[in-house]
A and B are shown apart, each in its own frame.
Chain A
Amino acid sequence: MTEQMLVELAKKRRPEALEQIYQRNHTRIFHLALRYVRSPEDAEDIVQDTFIKAFDGIDTFDLNLGSGFSAWINRICIHCAIDHLRIRKRRGGDLTSLDALPQDPPSADPSPEQITIDRHVSHRVQDAVENLSPRQQIIFSLRYREHLNIRQIAVRLDCSEGNIRAHLFRSASKLKDVFRVDS
């Protein structure tokens, strides 16, 4: 069954179509969620929220607009991840997360000293990033971990490029302040 047919049936709230959508997208959404939170359990929470919100709002999805169903549900997942981070932050619990993101491969045969320095810097950056707002954390990771450009981030988060630039600018200012104080 094509995605279009599946979505049309899901819009009619046919259980078998919703189940198919879940089966087809679950693994991808889980791995996407896992980029933003530390534990698989938290990622599963985000997956659950994502599908419940997606099924609840599937009427608003228009196959003729935008970049397809996968991109639409990815955006919901990212928004759920932001909500999850906000709740965590409000509770003052174990903050996320960017250390769960895929790391860039190390350069060829770095020395043990270089590895130690790299780790130290990486931890300092992660600590600093965790002090950004949840939305800024997500935008920062999309830009600098996933290497998306401003436009791609705006599409993924369904907001304007100006908004993304503003968040990145504020993030950079906050990080500069942190490192200025530390140094």
Chain B
Amino acid sequence: MNLRGALEKLVEDKAPFLLKDQCRDWEANDLLDSLSKGILTRPVHMLCGVYIAAITEKGLMGEVLFRFKPRA
């Protein structure tokens, strides 16, 4: 799964979460609109409710890109 797929799934499922990075909280939709194609095609591991993490070239879990934050 790439980041685009993960974000689209959250939008489709109307998941009750925002995504939090080190700076702010994001709507999945806003990330789809604002992130570059290069970033959106990055492979990720999504553990719904916990995090979206990058996947390394070897297919292993890498850096946590976003944490889930329940919508108020």
Contacts and interface: CB of A to CB of B under 8 A. Distances in A.
Interface of A: 12-15, 18-19, 22, 41, 44, 47-48, 51-52, 55
Nearest to A12: B60
A109 B69 CA distance: 45
Contact of B61 (A18, A41, A47): A18
B68 A15 contact: no
A48 to B, nearest CB: 5
Q: What is the interface of chain A mostly: helix, strand, loop, or mixed? A: helix
A22 B50 CA distance: 9
Interface string B37-53: 00000000101011101
Interface residues of B, number: 16
Interface of B: 45, 47, 49-51, 53, 55-56, 59-62, 64, 67-68, 70
Most buried by A among B49, B50, B51, B56: B50
Contacts of B60: 12-15
A44 B17 CA distance: 12
Contact of A48 (B55, B61, B68): B68
